[in-house]
């Protein structure tokens, strides 16, 4: 079933396709990437239609990238909380609907908004929510079983689809705090990635040389650990997907053709990708750092040895693709109040040792008492702000993948600089930061999309 139920009911109007004029209908055709969602949203907002009802119409979609579903949820949450009508048109193709069903998109929308998914579906299509899933059978290799467990029952402790949306939300929708039971979230969510079956799939598709446990230990753990620390977050969601070239269900796979590869989250790899998305609806990353820097508070507690700090080629550009500035920055740079701005802080969040917690008081380290804590003062360095730094090292250097952060008015894409580019600019990484137009509402929360290349698509 695609349906999911909840208690709240925000809309007094019955949602029907006739409610939406052409200008209020975003028509996603063929392969739908996260960028397609944002491109069409940008046009919608630029016409000053933001307060009008909006239909995210997937009727003509033939493939939907999993990150684009997260993007949709962030949009729906934001618009719903602002009292703006938003609807989701279901794909005409059954296998695409089944993809949404098996990934539990409906439940994810309901859990993120507190509103039953059917409330977002045009009335003409609601009968589709009841149809049975027929595309995924679990027959085939280990990945097929991970995507759909045919023996799953609602009593099962595990999920039916290993990669499906998982939502963390307080029962009464209070903000998530890292010192509550949510502290266990990084451990619980990353621990799932250590079981032999997913480890075998990682080994098969990502090659023998990479340590597969680092997907759990670093990628998932640190991404979720970062999300639970964002102030004001009430919802955290994770989802992931292997996109393999040559599979009908993964048409876009790695596939983005070269012209779109640059606009896609990551550079093109012919064999496919594993995408892991972690989204929270809390304060944007830059907004937690910028005020501190502007006030002259430290966000970096110590000077790191030079071998821990890398040089990054940064291209800052507008949403229409025009380059506004190019520069090389060093992760050891001084984060001065007068030069700090949102894009800069977003990038700085990846530097080693940078964290807003540095500006906050640091208590004694249990079980050591106050007297002893003074003895270990020299050991405080390397504590805060190392999570995203470690994540970048593992994703970019270890797996040769990419990290995309959508947050506030910016999108940051960072990857390893290769060969000629690397030597030409004497940098280890290259980073594109895209600024969204003022008409485009700030992105709701923070979305980390980690994309790891698949070496063996079979």
Q: Which residues bind other proteins (CB under 8 A)?
A: 137, 139, 141-143, 145, 149-151, 153, 155-156, 158, 178-179, 181, 183-184, 186-187, 190-191, 193-197, 199-201, 203-204, 210-211, 213-214, 216-218, 221-222, 225, 228, 305, 307-308, 352, 365-368, 372-373, 375-376, 378-383, 386-387, 389-390, 393-394, 397-398
- Surface-to-core class of residue 233, CB atoms within 10 Å of its CB (0-12 exposed, 13-18 middle, 19+ buried): buried
- The least CB distance from residue 224 to other proteins, in Å, is 11
Q: In this complex, which beta carbon is closest to other proteins, that of residue 27 or of residue 144?
A: 144
Q: In this complex, which beta carbon is closest to other proteins, that of residue 212 or of residue 241?
A: 212
- The least CB distance from residue 125 to other proteins, in Å, is 31
- The least CB distance from residue 132 to other proteins, in Å, is 16
Q: In this complex, which beta carbon is closest to other proteins, that of residue 178 or of residue 291?
A: 178
- The least CB distance from residue 185 to other proteins, in Å, is 9
- The least CB distance from residue 450 to other proteins, in Å, is 14
Q: Which residues contact 333 (CB under 8 A, 6 or more apart)?
A: none
Q: In this complex, which beta carbon is closest to other proteins, that of residue 18 or of residue 305?
A: 305
Q: Tell me how crowded residue 39 is: count the other CB atoms within 10 A of its CB.
A: 15
- The least CB distance from residue 253 to other proteins, in Å, is 19
- Pairing state of beta strands 272-280 and 311-318? unpaired
DSSP symbols for 377-435: GGG-TTSTT-HHHHHHIIIIIIT--EEEEEEETEEEEEEE--HHHHHHHT-SEEEEEEE
End-to-end Cα separation, the chain, in angstroms? 29
Q: In this complex, which beta carbon is closest to other proteins, that of residue 19 or of residue 142?
A: 142
Q: In this complex, which beta carbon is closest to other proteins, that of residue 144 or of residue 333?
A: 144
Gap between the Cα atoms of 309 and 330, Å rounded: 7
- The least CB distance from residue 382 to other proteins, in Å, is 5
DSSP symbols for 329-364: EETT----GGG--HHHHHHHTTSTTB-GGGGS----
- The least CB distance from residue 328 to other proteins, in Å, is 20
Exposure letters 157-194 (e unless 16+ CB within 10 A, then b): eeebbbbbbbbbbeeeeeebeeeeebeebbeebbeebe
Between 66-81 and 34-46, two packed helices, what is the crossing angle to 10 degrees? 30
Give the helix/strand (H/E) hosting 15: none
Q: Could you give the C-alpha distances from 427 to 8, 24, 126, 199, 420, in angstroms and in order?
A: 51, 44, 52, 33, 10
Residues in the chain: 458
Whether the CB-CB separation of 175 and 163 falls below 8 Å is answered with no
Three-class SS of 268-302:
CCCCEEEEEEEEECCCCHHHHHHHHHHCCCCCECC
- The least CB distance from residue 304 to other proteins, in Å, is 9
Whether the CB-CB separation of 156 and 190 falls below 8 Å is answered with no
Q: In this complex, which beta carbon is closest to other proteins, that of residue 16 or of residue 183?
A: 183
Q: Tell me how crowded residue 232 is: count the other CB atoms within 10 A of its CB.
A: 14
Gap between the Cα atoms of 252 and 243, Å rounded: 7
Q: In this complex, which beta carbon is closest to other proteins, that of residue 61 or of residue 452?
A: 452
Q: In this complex, which beta carbon is closest to other proteins, that of residue 192 or of residue 317?
A: 192
- The least CB distance from residue 360 to other proteins, in Å, is 11
Q: In this complex, which beta carbon is closest to other proteins, that of residue 47 or of residue 372?
A: 372
Q: In this complex, which beta carbon is closest to other proteins, that of residue 186 or of residue 445?
A: 186
Residue 68's nearest CA partner among 30, 95, 24 is 30
- The least CB distance from residue 435 to other proteins, in Å, is 29
- The least CB distance from residue 247 to other proteins, in Å, is 16
Gap between the Cα atoms of 185 and 457, Å rounded: 30
Q: In this complex, which beta carbon is closest to other proteins, that of residue 186 or of residue 453?
A: 186
Q: Tell me how crowded residue 73 is: count the other CB atoms within 10 A of its CB.
A: 27
Residue 35's nearest CA partner among 284, 444, 404 is 404
């Amino acid at each position: 079933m695609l349906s999911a139920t909840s208690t709240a009911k925000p809309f007094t109007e019955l949602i029907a396709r006739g409610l939406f004029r052409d200008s209020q209908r975003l028509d996603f055709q063929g392969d739908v990437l996260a960028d397609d969602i944002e491109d069409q949203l940008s046009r919608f907002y630029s016409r000053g239609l933001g307060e009008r009802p909006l239909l995210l119409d997937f009727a003509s979609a033939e493939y939907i990238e999993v990150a684009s579903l997260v993007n949709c949820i962030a949009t729906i949450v934001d618009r719903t909380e602002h009292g703006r009508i938003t609807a989701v048109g279901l794909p005409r193709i059954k296998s695409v609907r089944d993809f949404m069903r098996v990934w539990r998109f409906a439940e994810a929308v309901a859990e993120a908004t507190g509103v039953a998914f059917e409330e977002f579906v045009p009335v003409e299509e609601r009968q589709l929510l009841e149809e049975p899933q027929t595309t995924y059978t679990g027959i085939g290799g280990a990945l097929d079983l991970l995507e759909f467990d045919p023996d799953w029952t609602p009593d099962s402790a595990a999920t039916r689809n290993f990669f499906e949306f998982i939502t963390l939300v307080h029962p009464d929708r209070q903000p998530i705090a890292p010192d509550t039971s949510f502290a266990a979230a990084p451990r619980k969510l990353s621990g799932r990635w250590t079981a032999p079956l997913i480890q075998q799939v990682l080994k098969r598709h990502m090659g023998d040389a990479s340590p597969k446990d680092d997907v759990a230990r670093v990628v998932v753990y640190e991404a979720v650990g970062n999300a639970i620390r964002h102030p004001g977050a009430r919802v955290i969601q994770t989802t992931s997907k292997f996109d393999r070239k040559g599979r009908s269900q993964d048409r876009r796979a790695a596939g983005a053709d070269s012209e779109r590869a640059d606009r896609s989250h990551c550079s093109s790899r012919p064999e496919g990708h594993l995408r892991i998305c972690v989204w929270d609806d809390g304060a944007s990353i830059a907004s937690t750092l910028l005020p501190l820097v502007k006030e002259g508070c430290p966000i970096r507690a110590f000077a790191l040895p030079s071998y821990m700090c890398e040089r990054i080629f940064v291209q800052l550009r507008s949403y229409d693709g025009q380059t506004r500035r190019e520069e090389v920055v060093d992760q050891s740079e001084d984060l001065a109040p007068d030069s700090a701005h949102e894009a800069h802080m977003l990038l700085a969040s990846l530097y080693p040792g940078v964290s807003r917690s540095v500006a906050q008081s640091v208590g004694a380290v249990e079980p050591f008492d106050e007297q002893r804590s003074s003895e270990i003062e020299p050991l405080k360095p390397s504590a805060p702000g190392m999570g995203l730094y470690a994540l970048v090292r593992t994703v970019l250097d270890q797996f040769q993948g990419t990290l995309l952060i959508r947050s506030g008015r910016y999108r940051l894409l960072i990857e390893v600089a290769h060969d000629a580019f690397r030597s030409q600019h004497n940098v280890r990484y290259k980073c594109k930061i895209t600024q969204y137009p003022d008409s485009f509402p700030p992105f709701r929360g923070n979305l980390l999309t980690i994309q790891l290349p698949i070496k063996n698509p079979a």
